[in-house]
Every structure is written in C-alpha cells, then in structure tokens.
Amino acid sequence: MDSEPIFNLSEHRVPGPATCYYIPDFITARTACLLAALLKILLSSGGNNSLIAGGSSCSLLQLWGSSRSPLRSSQEFTETGGELTSNNALIAQPMPPFVESYPDIIARLQRTGAFARSPHGKPNHIIMNEYRPGQGECYVTYFAANPPQPSDVQGIMPHEDGPAYHPVVATISLQSHCVFHYYRYKEDENGPETAGKSIDPTPVLSVLLEPRSVVISQDDLYASHLHAIREVEEDVIHSTLLEIDQSMRLPIANRDKLTSPSAIQFVNEGGTLKRETRYSLTCRDVQKVVQLKALFGKR
Ligand SMILES: O=C(O)CCC(=O)C(=O)O
Ligand SMILES: [Fe+2]
C-alpha cells in the first residue's frame, strides 16, 4: 500500500473564480505505471478481464455501453462501483481491488478531505477513460447544452456531470498531460435553467493536468460550470499563454503548481507539448445507492 500524507487541500487551490484544487504527484510513478498498465489491458479487453476487474464480484463487462454515454465506444469507457439507474441511483457493486486495495486510490482521495462532506465520505463511482490523440471519439452527453459531435481527435465536449453526484469530482490523470477547461453559461439567456443555455466560449479557468496529478472541482465549479478537454494532438504556448485558437490565448491557471520539468519548461518558455495516450480515473460519490436485491426483491 502507499503509506501516505494527509493532503492540505487549501495549499492546492488553483487561483481563479471557482473552487478548483490541483495536486501534482498525487500518485507515485510506480503506482501510475501499474494503474495505466491495468487500465490499458482492461479497456482493450472490453472490460472482460476478471483477473484485473476482481473476478465475478466486479461486473465491469455489464457496464459496457452504459446509457450515460451511448456515443462512446465500449473500449474507451468503463465504470466501477456500479451503474446508474434512470433516476440517478447507483446500483451497488464492489469496487475492483486496483482502486480499493492496491493501489488504494479511494483511501488516498479520502485523505484530501475533498469527500469529507459527501454522503458516503468517499467516492463510490469511478469512470475510466482512455483518450488517444488523433483517433476515434470519446465523449459523454450528460447535460451539455450542445450535444457532442463525433470527432477524429479525442477530447470531451463541454458538459456538466449532473445531479446524480455529490458536487465534488476528482480526476486522476495517467501517462499524458492534457488541459482541462472550465466554462460557464452565457448570462441572461433562457432564465435560470441551465439546459438550453449557450456556453460562453472563453474558458473561465484552464488547468494543465500533469500525469499522476489529481484535479478536484467542487461547489460552484461543479454546480454551475461545464468542463471539457479540447480535441487537440498537442498544446501550444506563446509567451506563457495557451493558444486556444487564432484569436484566443489564455493563461494556465495552475502554472505555479506544476512539478514536471517538461510542463514547467512548456509554460515558462513556450512551444508545444504533444499529447500521448491518456488514461483518467474520474471519481465521484453518487448520492443515492440501491442494492440489487432491493430492486428485484429478496428471495
Ligand atoms: O476523463 C477525464 O479527464 C474527464 C472525464 C469527465 O469529465 C467525465 O467523465 O465526466
Ligand atoms: Fe465530466
């Protein structure tokens, strides 16, 4: 097991208008290597690898093609912890050992304190994604105002994670960096409901996620913002600003929190940072949980 520090979340606050924490080196290089290798095997075997997934007790396979992401191909997507019902309840399932025992990802996230006020005090649902630059498609629909369109480069369209979860999400990055952008809706359109509102195309916060880091979004950033990963094969910085397109350049909000030499050099000296295949673990606490036997009645 990783024996480990209690994290002081306030030290990791990303400067900006909403509650975001960035913890670099959240998991060790050894743990990251192991996890990425496991996820690669698991995702490329369509989740049907009982050795890794924890035997019949963890039915990753049946979660394939979840109704929450009908557009995403099964090889790029899995969930652990269980599937969500149509009324946003989690059908309880055991977590696989590689998030609970070794490596102890869930315990480590608990030590950040980010889930201290969540209903179960820890994540009970983890989505694993693989993003391959330049191939295929990878996105979720959720509650996005603009439904995602297929694309050749993998990213994730602006979306909200929605009301099924307690408003905290922790995303661990493995193997490659990427840039997470947070957006808000344009104001004064269509009343208070978010659905149907248009998204302000200028991100309010852009955070560079290094491999082995965790980014935690909560409160207002969870509840009233959207997040996305742009579908680019490389990121470009000019004079310390990230190039979004020809007319938009933005600062990297966590530039003072980066630790890897390549990321530090990139943000300070500019240039390009090529994305490699990235694996992510998106960890949340689903508020409502139902046991299968409660759904189907006891025998
Ligand atoms: O994979 C990621 O880094 C983000 C995924 C995400 O936003 C989600 O699953 O809701
Ligand atoms: Fe999301």
Per-residue model confidence as pLDDT tens digits over 43-71: 776 555 555 444 333 333 323 333 333 33
Query: How many Å apart are CA 24 and CA 172, to the nearest integer?
Result: 10
The arithmetic mean of pLDDT across residues 99-125, rounded, is: 94
More confident call, 63 vs 286: 286
Identity (one letter) of the amino acid at 55?
A: G
- Domains of the chain in start order, with CATH, are 10-181+211-231+277-292 (2.60.120.590)
In this prediction, residue 96 carries a pLDDT of 83
Strand order in the sheet with 241-245: 248-251, 241-245, 234-238, 271-274
Residue of 22, 126, 137, 171 with the most ligand 1 atoms within 8 Å of its CB, for mutation:
171
Q: How many CA atoms lie within 13 A of 291 on its CB side?
A: 4
Collect residues with CB below 5 Å from ion ligand 2. 161
Q: Is ligand 1 within 6 A of the CB of residue 258?
A: no
Give the SS3 label for residue 1: coil
Using the predicted structure, report yes or no on whether residue 133 has a pLDDT greater than 60.
yes
Per this entry, what is the length of the chain?
299
In this prediction, residue 142 carries a pLDDT of 29
Cα 155 to middle of ligand 1, angstroms: 9
More confident call, 192 vs 107: 107
Q: For residue 234, what is the DSSP state? A: E
The model's pTM is 0.84
Query: How many Å apart are CA 231 and CA 71, to the nearest integer?
Result: 16
Q: Is ligand 1 within 6 A of the CB of residue 129?
A: yes
Using the predicted structure, report yes or no on whether residue 243 has a pLDDT greater than 60.
yes
More confident call, 81 vs 203: 203
Q: How far is CA 190 from CA 193, 221, 225, 276, in A?
A: 7, 21, 16, 40
The helices-and-strands tally (H runs, E runs) of the chain is 7, 16
Contact 198, 182 (CB under 8 A): no
Give the SS3 label for residue 269: helix
Cα 56 to middle of ligand 1, angstroms: 26
Using the predicted structure, report yes or no on whether residue 290 has a pLDDT greater than 90.
no
Query: How many Å apart are CA 84 and CA 150, to the nearest integer?
Result: 24
Mean pLDDT of the chain: 80
Cis peptide before 103 (omega within 30 of 0): yes
Most confident region among 53-57, 93-97, 165-169 by mean pLDDT: 165-169
Query: How many Å apart are CA 131 and CA 76, to the nearest integer?
Result: 7
- pLDDT above 90: percentage of residues in the chain: 53
Using the predicted structure, report yes or no on whether residue 136 has a pLDDT greater than 70.
no
* Site of tokens 């890794």: 52
Residue 34 pLDDT grade (very low, low, confident, very high; cuts 50, 70, 90)? very high
Residue of 209, 229, 277 with the most ligand 1 atoms within 8 Å of its CB, for mutation:
229
Cα 57 to middle of ligand 1, angstroms: 25
The pLDDT tens digits of the residues spanning 211-220 come to: 999 999 999 9
Residue 74 pLDDT grade (very low, low, confident, very high; cuts 50, 70, 90)? very low
| Ligand 1 atom 10 nearest Cα | 161
Using the predicted structure, report yes or no on whether residue 196 has a pLDDT greater than 80.
no
Residue 261 pLDDT grade (very low, low, confident, very high; cuts 50, 70, 90)? very high
Backbone angles phi, psi at 85, to 5 degrees: -80, 175
Strand order in the sheet with 156-159: 156-159, 225-229, 178-184, 205-209
- pLDDT above 70: percentage of residues in the chain: 74
In this prediction, residue 180 carries a pLDDT of 96
In this prediction, residue 157 carries a pLDDT of 85
* Site of tokens 């201290």: 116
Backbone angles phi, psi at 174, to 5 degrees: -130, 140
Phi-psi region of 16 (alpha: psi -120 to 50; beta: other; left: phi over 0): left
